[in-house]
């Protein structure tokens, strides 16, 4: 194993990567590497100053400590959103790309199998995987959420260099398997985060209860379909209250049948009205006439 050396650590991860099919994943990986290369080039960090590791849905860059972290942060805050907008405006709804990012610094060694070793790198990976950062991206209209380590904030961000406004970063504490980690989130805090920036939420379902094994990310974009999904909001709309002494029938989403009878379409029959024509119930028929619960004249209720 090599001796640990000081490096700037850049991590970028694709939201909901595993929800896509193979073709979409290949496209997203290509876009991720293109965006990363453009951002680093705009920061003046060429290939001789960095070492890359492929993690499937994410990219890890070890950047030479002599490279400008200020230029890197400025490029991340300006170039990444611009690149994502350019890519997503031309992509299908199922191939939209959204990214979480972490910038940290510390000592990293390379082992005999070209693996990267270091507690500072481990902490950066924990920040990237934190539910707070996932929630921040999930709740934003934009496509990028960035978090920086305390060391990067103390050395660069808090000085509010041009293009890196310190007031846009908020101190947070996230939970991890290594215990609480303090960091700084760019942009607004997600819902469920306390005023002091402490993470107080987890992956939840509609009722707010934690969902075991949930990723914490928004669902992946779906392919458009002409037919409305099952269980849509229309089926959840309560029927109107019946008038005094009346009965309301609310038939939606198809043609219900009662004991062999058939009623077609979406209809509302309210007691007190009348309809003309034959009515068939349970295989029997009744002659045309006035019947309770139906209406005469004009369209069906």
**Domain identity same for 178 and 243:** no
Instruction: Please give the Cα distance from 169 to 149 (Å, whole number).
Output: 11
250 C-beta neighbours (distance < 10 Å), count: 13
Q: Is residue 261 part of a domain?
A: yes
pLDDT for res 267:
46
Is residue 205 in a domain? no
Sequence-ordered strand ranges (E) for the chain: 5-14, 50-54, 58-64, 99-110, 116-117, 144-149, 169-174, 181-186, 248-251, 267-270, 279-281, 284-286
Q: Is 51 within the bounds of a domain?
A: yes
- Strands 144-149 and 99-110 come out as parallel
Tell whether 176 and 242 lie within a shared domain. no
Q: What distance in Å separates the CA atoms of residue 105 and residue 120, rounded to the nearest whole number?
A: 7
pLDDT for residue 23 is more than 80: yes
Residue 256 lies in a domain: yes
More confident residue, 38 or 249: 38
> Per residue in 226-279, pLDDT tens?
444 454 444 454 545 544 544 444 444 444 444 444 444 444 444 444 444 554
CATH number of the domain bearing residue 148:
3.30.70.1230
Tell whether 161 and 252 lie within a shared domain: no
Choosing from 163, 186, 209, the residue where a domain stops is 186
**What pLDDT does residue 218 have?**
52
Question: Among 186, 203, 225, where does a domain finish?
Answer: 186
Query: What is the model's pLDDT at position 31?
Result: 94
Q: Given this model, what pLDDT does residue 258 score?
A: 40
Q: How far apart are CA 163 and CA 252, in angstroms?
A: 55
Count of beta carbons in the 10 Å neighbourhood of residue 300: 14
| pTM check: above 0.75 | no
Joined together, the tokens standing for residue 96 give: 């939209």
DSSP letters along 78-123, please? HHHHHHHHHHHTTS-GGG---EEEEEEEEEEEE-TTS-EE-HHHHH
Same domain as 141, residue 285: no
Q: What total number of domains does the chain contain?
A: 2
Mark whether 176 and 267 lie in a shared domain: no
Q: How confident is the model at residue 210 (pLDDT cuts 50, 70, 90)?
A: very low
- Domain membership of residue 258 (yes or no) is yes
The reply to whether 258 and 132 lie within a common domain is: no
Is 50 exceeded by the pLDDT of residue 80?
yes
Q: How confident is the model at residue 194 (pLDDT cuts 50, 70, 90)?
A: low
Contacts for 260-263: CB closer than 8 Å, 24+ residues apart: none
At 198, the pLDDT band (50, 70, 90 cuts) reads: low
- Tell whether 38 is covered by a domain: yes
How far apart are the C-alpha atoms of 8 and 62, rounded to whole Å?
6
Task: Please indicate whether residue 246 or residue 17 has the higher confidence score (pLDDT).
Answer: 17
Same domain, 265 and 138: no
Residue 210 bridge partners (DSSP) = 204
pLDDT per residue over 118-127, tens digit each? 899 999 999 9
In whole angstroms, give the CA distance from residue 46 to residue 126. Answer: 27
Does 61 share its domain with 130? Answer: yes
**In which element (H, E) is residue 133 found?**
helix 131-138
21 and 85 both lie in a single domain: yes
Q: What is the pLDDT at residue 56?
A: 77
Residue 146 has pLDDT above 70, yes or no: yes
Residue 86 reports pLDDT greater than 70 = yes
pLDDT band at 1 (very low <50, low <70, confident <90, very high): confident
Position 57 scores a pLDDT of 84
Distance CA(252)–CA(267), nearest Å, equals: 7
DSSP, collapsed to helix, strand or coil, labels residue 205 as coil
169 plus 261 within the same structural domain: no
Same-domain pairing of 247 and 161? no
Q: What angle do CA 53, 57, 63 make, to 5 degrees?
A: 30
Do the domain assignments include residue 220?
A: no
Mean pLDDT on 201-223: 44
In terms of pLDDT, which residue wins out, 156 or 219? 156
Q: Which range marks the domain in which residue 19 is found?
A: 5-186
What's the pLDDT score for residue 205? 35
Percent of the chain with pLDDT over 90: 50
Do 162 and 246 fall within a single domain? no
- Does the residue 217 lie in any domain? no
Percent of the chain with pLDDT over 70: 63
The predicted structure's pLDDT at residue 300: 46
Neighbours of 283 (CB within 10 A): 8
Of 128, 151, 186, the position where a domain reaches its end is 186
């Amino acid at each position: 194993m090599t001796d640990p050396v000081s490096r700037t650590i850049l991590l970028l991860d694709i939201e909901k990567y595993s929800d896509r099919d193979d073709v979409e994943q290949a496209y997203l990986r290509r876009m991720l590497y293109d965006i990363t290369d453009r951002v680093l080039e705009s920061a003046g960090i060429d290939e001789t100053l960095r070492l890359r590791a492929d993690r499937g849905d994410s990219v890890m860059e070890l950047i030479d400590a002599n490279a400008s972290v200020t230029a890197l942060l400025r490029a991340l805050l300006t170039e990444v959103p611009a690149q994502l907008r350019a890519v997503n405006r031309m992509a299908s709804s199922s191939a939209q790309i959204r990214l979480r990012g972490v910038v940290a610094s510390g000592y990293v060694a390379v082992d005999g199998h070209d693996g990267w070793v270091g507690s500072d790198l481990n902490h950066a990976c924990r920040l990237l995987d934190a539910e707070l950062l996932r929630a921040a991206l999930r709740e934003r209209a934009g496509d990028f959420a960035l978090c920086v380590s305390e060391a990067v904030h103390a050395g660069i961000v808090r000085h509010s260099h041009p293009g890196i406004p310190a007031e846009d970063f908020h101190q947070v504490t996230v939970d991890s398997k290594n215990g609480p980690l303090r960091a700084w989130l760019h942009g607004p805090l997600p819902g469920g985060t306390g005023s002091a920036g402490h993470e107080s939420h987890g992956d939840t379902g509609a009722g707010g209860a934690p969902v075991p094994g949930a990723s914490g990310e928004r669902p992946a974009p779906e392919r458009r379909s002409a037919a409305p999904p099952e269980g849509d909001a229309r089926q959840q709309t309560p029927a109107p209250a019946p008038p005094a002494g009346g009965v309301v029938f609310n038939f939606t989403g198809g043609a219900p049948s009662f004991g062999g009878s058939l009623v077609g379409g979406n209809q509302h029959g309210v007691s007190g009205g009348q309809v003309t024509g034959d009515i068939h119930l349970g295989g029997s028929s009744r002659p045309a006439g006035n019947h309770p619960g139906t209406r005469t004249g004009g369209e069906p209720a």
